Amino acid sequence: MAEHLSKPAPILEAMSLHLWDWYHPTLVLPPTIFEALLSSVRTLTLHGATLAPGPCILSRLTKFTLETRVTAIVPSVVLLDTLERMPLLQSFDAKLYCAMEPDPVPEGRVVTLPDLEEITIMTDGEYIGPLTIPVLLALCLPAARRVSVRSIGAFTFPPTPILPLSFEERLPALSVTPQVSVTLGDDFKLEFFGPDQSELTLSINTLLGFIFTQSKFGGAPFGSVRKLRACFASHNVDSMTFVDVLRAMGGLEWLDMEHNTSEPLTCWAEADDQAGICPSLITLTITDVDIREAKRCVRELEQTRKRAGVSMARVAFGYRCDPDSDSNPDPDSDEEY
């Protein structure tokens, strides 16, 4: 392939290369292809191919899509070297398969992509390795408005944070996110929304279940969150994870809880450090099928917080019909107290 694509193609602006036979030996693209053929390319898509170490000329590239093979791991240093030679890159979409051991980036290595606005990184470590995205930790993205990270099934948790610790310096457009949505179910999903329509999405699915710690998310802007919408996708959610999320958001003022809220409310009421959970909360809204049970749980929470000297704030209830349920709505389901 390199032999037949060794001549310049000055008017070529887009190239898509797919290797569909996943059992075939990995196709490695030598730097000579990029130097001769892709000097004018703006959009490059690689599926099932990997990048060989060495300098590449991709100075005009604005969109890069990369999907590696299960049997081929692109070293972080190679990927960073490649991205560093894409100064005009605006969009990067990568699906990377995990190795058995995390691939660390060189200490102190930082690659700045000044024009990059959207980045999506998905790692698939199912039955293979840890949830880890070391490349993101080495990127500085001053113009990024859309950042999406998804990690799929693995047996171990990330040995390093998912996001860079110097969050305000590396992702300044996302350093303030007053609104957040969290979904707990089979997946753990956090969506941060900035005031300028910026968005940071983090989705984690692990075969062991997810244990939330603020340190896992690097310097994510939990402190700027004022409004949180929490959706509980099933009755069997990890309620302690939800309570840990509340602890991380010390400035939270508005909290909306939807579906299957009884267990999370009970877990919240049983927590010892009520003073450290939502100390600034103004409004709590509960939307559920079983409003009577939700009200009972809220009363328990109110008593616990009162004993701890923490106000309960205003509580509003709303009924949401469950098409698979024969239960009747509470006639007082829309009341506040």
273 inside domain: yes
Q: How far apart are CA 58 and CA 66, in angstroms?
A: 14
250 inside domain: yes
Q: How many residues does the chain have?
A: 337
CB 155 within 8 Å of CB 131: no
According to DSSP, residue 217 is labeled: G
The ranges of the chain with pLDDT < 50 are 323, 325-331, 333
256 inside domain: yes
pLDDT reported for residue 236: 77
Number of neighbouring beta carbons within 10 Å of residue 69:
20
CB 199 within 8 Å of CB 193: yes
77 inside domain: no
pLDDT reported for residue 100: 56
Q: How far apart are CA 156 and CA 234, in angstroms?
A: 24
pLDDT reported for residue 257: 95
Classify the C-alpha dihedral 309-313-318-320 as positive or negative: negative
pTM for the full model? 0.86
pLDDT reported for residue 96: 80
Domain count, the chain: 1
pLDDT reported for residue 48: 78
**How are beta strands 188-193 and 179-184 bridged, if at all?**
antiparallel
Segments forming the whole domain that contains residue 337: 226-337
pLDDT reported for residue 328: 46
108-141 burial, b for 16+ CB within 10 Å, e for fewer? ebbbebeebbbbbbbbbbbebbbbbbbbbbbbbb
65 inside domain: no
Q: How far apart are CA 294 and CA 28, in angstroms?
A: 57
pLDDT reported for residue 79: 85
Number of neighbouring beta carbons within 10 Å of residue 226:
15
Per-residue pLDDT tens digits for 21-41: 655 656 667 666 766 666 788
236 inside domain: yes
pLDDT reported for residue 323: 45
314 inside domain: yes
Element containing residue 192 per DSSP (H, E)? strand 188-193
Per-residue pLDDT tens digits for 230-242: 999 887 788 999 9
